[in-house]
Amino acid sequence: MSRFLRAYGKYLIIILFAIVLINILNAFVINTSLIVLLYLYFVAIVFFVIHMYATQGFYIKKGTLNSEYGNIEIVDCVFLNYRKNFREMRVDGVSGAYSKINLKAPEKLQFYQYCEDVVNFLFANSCERILVLGGGGCGVPIFLATKYRECTVEVVEISHEVIKASIEYFIKSNYYQNNIAFINEDALNYVQSTSQKYEFVFCDLFIGDKIPSFVFTKAFIKNLYNLLLNNGAIVVNMGNARKNNICSFIEVCKTLSIKANIYTHHNSIVLIMHKNKLLDDKQIYSDWICQIFQLN
């Protein structure tokens, strides 16, 4: 009931005001046309609320916190069709959601569907070790932890507050929480210092809506690639990176003899570095919109 009132309280107040006003006028005013107009106004409000609920949903704030990223809000969007209800992590100065999960099916990716394409092709049945750089609301870690329940998904996140929010609002009380392990550390330091090797790495590093500049450096790219086991792959979310930064990344890969491809998938720019011969086959990306670069 409290969630319903937070979402629709202001509309209920408008409807109640309209009902009271109609009854007052009905008692003291003889002008029938005015009464009819008010009734129509009341019906229009009711239909508007139903339409909003069905098509756009209503946002309910679940919590706020301050972190290195700025002010972070956790909000739920509820729909008439409850299966569409989702939860978002939003950051100051960033339009749209920072992270997003479906509350009824959190294991289904709302963003980064290309990540699902890659792991389904390479690691259909099992994956030895998985690393995610940049936690956010853990949409990708939840998907991976659900798909590979025998594998621990390690999530490197610099912000303790973001980790706290991820556990409280996105992971808590779900069966997959047992195979998601957080590492509260700067990704730059982690890839440089760890001796651990991984079969799949997802790099999703952002400060607000910008990729940190160190992601495009030779040292970071080399250390990132060295995390891979044989036949492993790294997916890098390039977001809205500038063309010169993307070209710089490609040139570094060339100098390091790293196999890498950059693709567009819907509105996403995706870079894949790999040690897997299967990824040399362009056919697996036939449903992706276009290939920008091919490095051999």
Residue 95 has pLDDT above 60, yes or no: no
Give which of 219, 206, 214, 225 is closest to 274, Cα–Cα: 225
Provide the pLDDT for residue 22: 62
This prediction's pTM: 0.75
Provide the pLDDT for residue 197: 94
Residue 241 has pLDDT above 70, yes or no: yes
How confident is the model over 129-134, as a mean pLDDT?
93
Under 8 Å between Cβ of 45 and 58: no
pLDDT band at residue 263 using 50, 70 and 90 as cut-offs: confident
Provide the pLDDT for residue 1: 47
User: What is the C-alpha separation between 172 and 149, in angstroms, rounded?
Assistant: 16
Provide the pLDDT for residue 36: 67
Under 8 Å between Cβ of 148 and 123: yes
pLDDT band at residue 284 using 50, 70 and 90 as cut-offs: very low
User: What is the C-alpha separation between 268 and 241, in angstroms, rounded?
Assistant: 10
Least confident of 45-54, 181-190, 200-209: 45-54
Residue spans of the domains in the chain: they are: 2-55, 58-102, 113-294
Q: According to the CATH classification, is domain 113-294 in 3.30.43.10?
A: no
Within 8 A by CB and 6+ apart from 186, the residues are 158
Tens digit of each residue's pLDDT (9 = 90 or more) over 135-147: 888 889 988 988 8
Residue 255 has pLDDT above 80, yes or no: yes
> Average pLDDT of the chain?
76
Provide the pLDDT for residue 196: 94
Under 8 Å between Cβ of 237 and 210: no
